């Protein structure tokens, strides 16, 4: 765990991880973003001049770990939030890879999942993940109040999915109660680095459970490379002994 003072410091630390991962790979870089509110400051920071000038935008590709299956103009839409915060201003449009969203022609989250799986496989250049060649350079993560990550909720059979890269989730466990589309654990694990961002006193209760080792999705999500937890002081469990 990496402790930081507050959400501002957390965004700055996360931005350094983004820079370090893009610098470590001289070729095409793949970053898997997360939704929810935790990464917003990071996304806004990446659009500021000092970071904007330091990122090799032309060779960085942006994916998303899960999506709320709503139209793209819905305020709940994760990739639209990331687009508004930084992508639309900074990234070449062809480097932005959203999960297909709900439209009148696309009403089934499983269908959207299958389409995104195909997009990921074509980017990766293979239909099966090779552990020696990670799909993503960096996967960003948040943790929900029930210990979910991406849209993989506790006790959902989707947690045990090993064949599909992306699945539809008909029912969310927490608000917003809309269907989701999510990358599966093996897909998210295929990265050089997984970086959790956790801030605020609201997260203290779930972090206490996660750090106690409870069987929660947050404890099953691990990179085949490195996994880091960036946590601000307010979120750190009381009497925390270290991790
Ligand atoms: C989503 C997310 C989800 C999120 C956590 C934390 O679509 O909701 O991707 O997994 O990361 O729920 O959400 P907050 O950052 O809003 O606390």
Taking the CA of residue 142 as reference, the ligand 1 atom at the shortest distance is: 11
Structure tokens at 100: 């297909």
Residue 104 is predicted with a pLDDT of 85
| Confidence label for 238 from pLDDT (cuts 50, 70 and 90) | confident
Taking the CA of residue 65 as reference, the ligand 1 atom at the shortest distance is: 9
Residue 222 is predicted with a pLDDT of 97
| Confidence label for 33 from pLDDT (cuts 50, 70 and 90) | very high
Ligand 1 pocket check: which of 14, 35, 182 to mutate, most ligand atoms within 8 Å of Cβ?
Answer: 35
Please tell me the residue having the least CA distance from ligand 1 atom 3. 150
Contacts of 126 (CB under 8 A, 6+ apart): none
Specify the CATH number of the domain 2-180+195-236: 3.40.50.1360
155-186 burial, b at 16+ Cβ within 10 Å, e below that, comes to ebebbebeebbbbbbeebbeeeebbbbbbbbb
Question: What is the share, in percent, of the chain residues with pLDDT greater than 70?
Answer: 100
What integer is the mean pLDDT of 155-182?
94
pLDDT at 106 over 90: no
Structure tokens at 84: 């508004």
Separation of 39 CA from ligand 1 center, angstroms?
Answer: 9
Domains in the chain: boundaries: 2-180+195-236
Ligand 1 pocket check: which of 76, 143, 152, 156 to mutate, most ligand atoms within 8 Å of Cβ?
Answer: 143
Residue 105 is predicted with a pLDDT of 87
Are the beta carbons of 67 and 35 closer than 8 angstroms? yes
Residue 172 is predicted with a pLDDT of 86
User: Which residues have C-beta atoms less than 6 Å from ligand 1?
Assistant: 34-38, 66, 68, 78, 142-144, 148-151
- Per residue in 118-167, pLDDT tens? 999 999 999 999 999 999 999 999 999 999 999 999 999 999 999 999 99
pLDDT at 186 over 90: yes
Ligand 1 pocket check: which of 36, 43, 221 to mutate, most ligand atoms within 8 Å of Cβ?
Answer: 36
pLDDT at 243 over 80: no
Separation of 149 CA from ligand 1 center, angstroms?
Answer: 7
Give the burial class of 73: count Cβ atoms within 10 A of its Cβ; 0-12 exposed, 13-18 middle, 19 or more buried: exposed
């Amino acid at each position: 765990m990496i402790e930081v003072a507050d959400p501002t410091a957390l965004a700055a630390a996360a931005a350094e991880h983004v820079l370090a991962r893009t610098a470590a790979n001289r070729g095409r870089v793949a970053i898997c973003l997360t939704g929810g509110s935790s990464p917003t400051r990071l996304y806004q920071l990446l659009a500021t001049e000092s970071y904007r000038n330091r990122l090799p935008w032309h060779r960085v590709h942006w994916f998303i770990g899960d999506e709320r299956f709503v139209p793209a103009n819905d305020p709940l839409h994760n990739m639209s939030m990331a687009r508004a915060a930084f992508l639309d201003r900074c990234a070449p449009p062809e480097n932005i890879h959203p999960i297909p969203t709900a439209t009148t022609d696309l009403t089934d989250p499983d269908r959207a999942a299958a389409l995104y799986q195909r997009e990921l496989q074509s980017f990766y250049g293979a239909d099966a993940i090779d552990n020696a060649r990670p799909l993503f350079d960096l996967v960003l993560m948040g943790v929900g109040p029930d210990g979910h990550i991406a849209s993989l909720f506790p006790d959902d059979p989707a947690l045990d999915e090993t064949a599909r890269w992306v699945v539809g989730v008909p029912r969310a466990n927490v608000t917003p109660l809309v269907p989701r589309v999510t990358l599966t654990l093996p897909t998210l694990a295929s990265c050089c680095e997984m970086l959790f961002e956790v801030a605020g006193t609201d997260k203290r209760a779930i972090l206490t459970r996660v750090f106690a080792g409870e069987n929660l999705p947050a404890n099953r999500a691990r990179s085949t490379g490195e996994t880091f937890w960036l946590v601000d002081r307010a979120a750190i469990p009381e009497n925390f002994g270290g991790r």
